[in-house]
Amino acid sequence: MHPALNIAIKAARRAGQIINRASNDLDLLKVTAKQPNDFVTEVDKAAEAAIIEMLQEAYPHYGILAEESGETAGAGSRDTEYQWIIDPLDGTTNFIHGMPQYAVSIALARAGVVEQAVIFDPNRNELFTASKGGGAFLNERRIRVSRRLKLQDSLIGTGFPYRAFDLVDTYLAIFKELTQKTAGQRRPGAASLDLAYVACGRYDGFWEFGLAPWDMAAGALLISEAGGLVSDLRGEASYLTSGNIVAGTPKVFAPLLNIIQEKLPDSLRG
C-alpha cells in the first residue's frame, strides 16, 4: 500500500470516530447555513481539522483543498504538485437529520490528476480505497463495476441540483427520461458514496450537476480503477472543474451520457 494512502485511511478513520460520537447527540449539534440548502456543523469542522492535522504531520509540503477551510499551500512550498482534496463529512444534511448515509472522502492529486482515494462510511464501517494503476478495494477486497449491459436493466444513482438551481428544469427533464428507460434511480444524498457504489457494482451508473471537487475526486478514481468510465457532460475529463459528472459501467455509460446530452441547454453542450 502506498504510504500516502495509508495515512489517508488513518485520517478518514479518525474523522469517522469524531462523526460517530457526535451522531449520538444530534440534539446538541450547532448547525449553520453556508447558503440555502447547504449546511455546516461543528462536526464537519472538527473532522476536517483532525484530517488536516494528520495529513500535514506526514506531508507538510502538500497543499490542501478542503470543503470548510478552502485551499492552502504546503508549508514552505507554494508550488508543490501534490494536493489533498478533502470532504470531512459528505452528506451533512443527512447527518443532521439522523439519516445514516454520509461519508469521509479524501483524495490525493498530483498535478491535478488524482492518484490516491479513500471514502469511509462510518455507519457501515465500509472503507473504499484506490491507487492509480493499483485497482479499487472495499475493506481490502478487490471491487469491480457491475457487468450490467443495458441501460434499461440498470439502477442509476443521482443527486438533485441543490446548488445549481438554474439547471433544475434540465435536471427534471433528464430524470423523467431516465425514469422511463432504466430499472430505477436513487438519490440517497452523499455523492462520494454514490460514486463508491458505482465502483463496487451497487449502482450501474451515476449523474449529477453542480458538485465540488471534494465530492467527486476520490469516487471518480475508485470507478476508474474498478473498470468504469467517468466524464463531464461533454464526455471529457474536466468534471472536477465543471462540477458535472456522469459515470457508469463500460456498456451503460454511453447510453446514459447520450440521454443526458440530448436534454442539455446549449450553454452546457460546448
Looking at the structure, tell me whether residues 137 and 164 fall in a common domain.
no
Q: Are 61 and 9 in contact (CB under 8 A)?
A: no
- Among residues 93, 120, 142, which one ends one of the domains? 142
Phi, psi of 263 (to 5 degrees): -100, -5
State the Cα–Cα distance between residues 95 and 248, nearest whole angstrom.
Answer: 27
- Residue 95's domain comprises 3-142
Looking at the structure, tell me whether residues 11 and 131 fall in a common domain.
yes
Return the CATH number at 29.
3.30.540.10
Looking at the structure, tell me whether residues 212 and 137 fall in a common domain.
no
Looking at the structure, tell me whether residues 227 and 159 fall in a common domain.
yes
At 41 the pLDDT is 82
Domains held by the chain: number: 2
Counting Cα atoms < 13 Å in the Cβ hemisphere of 6 gives 4
State the Cα–Cα distance between residues 144 and 223, nearest whole angstrom.
Answer: 8
Looking at the structure, tell me whether residues 67 and 193 fall in a common domain.
no
For helices 213-225 and 191-199, the axis angle rounded to 10 degrees is 0
Looking at the structure, tell me whether residues 163 and 265 fall in a common domain.
yes
Looking at the structure, tell me whether residues 9 and 121 fall in a common domain.
yes
* pLDDT in single tens digits along all 270 residues of the chain: 899 999 999 999 999 999 999 999 888 788 887 766 566 789 999 999 999 999 999 999 999 999 988 888 876 655 589 999 999 999 999 999 999 999 999 999 999 999 999 999 999 999 999 999 999 999 999 999 999 999 999 999 999 987 667 888 999 999 999 999 999 999 999 999 999 999 999 999 999 999 999 999 999 999 999 999 999 999 999 999 999 999 999 999 999 999 999 999 877 765
- Among residues 142, 162, 184, which one ends one of the domains? 142
Phi, psi of 208 (to 5 degrees): -165, 150
At 188 the pLDDT is 96
pLDDT tens figures, 246-260: 999 999 999 999 999
At 80 the pLDDT is 81
Q: In 215-226, which positions are buried (b, 16+ CB within 10 angstroms) versus exposed (e)?
A: bbbbbbbbbbbb
Looking at the structure, tell me whether residues 138 and 214 fall in a common domain.
no
- State the burial class of residue 202 (Cβ atoms within 10 Å of its Cβ: 0-12, 13-18, 19+): middle
Long-range contacts of 54-58 (CB under 8 A, 24+ apart): 54/7, 54/10, 54/11, 54/14, 55/7, 55/8, 55/11, 55/84, 55/86, 55/106, 58/3, 58/4, 58/7
Nearest CA among 90, 94, 116 for reference residue 105: 90
Return the CATH number at 221.
3.40.190.80
Looking at the structure, tell me whether residues 133 and 17 fall in a common domain.
yes
Looking at the structure, tell me whether residues 110 and 181 fall in a common domain.
no
Looking at the structure, tell me whether residues 131 and 11 fall in a common domain.
yes
What is the reported pTM? 0.94
